[in-house]
Amino acid sequence: MIKTMQQTLFIVLDGIDGAGTTTHSKLLAGFLSLKGLKTYLTREPSSSEIGKLLRIYLKDERIPASTDALLFAADRVLHYKNEIKKKLEEGYIVISDRYIESSIAYQSSQSDEITIEWIENLNLFAGEPDLTIILDIDPKISLSRKNQEFLEKFEDTSLLDKVRQVYLTRAEKLGYSIINTNNIIELVQTEIQEVVLNKLKEKGIGIKK
């Protein structure tokens, strides 16, 4: 019996604020569509009611990191079960702008009581990506890219330095690709595409030349 190779891939772009996850998720989705692949782009917080609440809470200093962690995990499980998994089953390549590594890096950096293990446990029911790419940048540069009026509560450089270290340590431990984004967008995007193309090849997923 021939086992058919699964023709889908779940890709996550993650990294500190302003690293470019939103910019590059969109560009990557456009690139893969041009290559003839059915592509679905999504982001966190998701479009669920919990996701909408999180977007409000991200601007509210009174909400503790533990509440954020719990809500992010609840949102992620819904996001995975109702959206990501469904799309993968329909044969789409799914790209998520942020996923579990955001919770691990941000919430564990905000409080000594919040451990990475606890966050991992909360997220046990959210399916794992096939490929996680960490976009890396010095927080001083990333924050200067953002409109200062719309900064969220995490967005100061001392916290972001900590968050960045968690991303980098995890990436080394788990073998995620790290791409520095302190370069023009086109060049950064080309590097991301190379990593994704390699993964597609590894999985035997064909693309248009």
Site of interaction with Mg ion (CB under 5 A): 22
x/- contact string, 103-142, with ligand ADP (CB under 6 A)?
----------------------------------------
Member of 146, 156, 178, 201 binding ligand ADP (CB under 6 A): 146
Using CB under 6 A as the binding rule, whether residue 17 contacts ligand ADP is answered as yes
Kindly tell me which of 8 and 131 has the beta carbon lying closer to ligand ADP. Answer: 131
Kindly tell me which of 22 and 177 has the beta carbon lying closer to ligand ADP. Answer: 22
Q: Which does 14 bind (CB under 5 to 8 A by kind): ligand ADP, Mg ion, none?
A: none
Query: Please, which residues bridge with residue 132 across strands?
Result: 12
In DSSP notation, 125-138 reads TSPPPSEEEEEE--
Kindly tell me which of 123 and 142 has the beta carbon lying closer to ligand ADP. Answer: 142
Using CB under 6 A as the binding rule, whether residue 157 contacts ligand ADP is answered as no
CA distance 103 to 88: 23
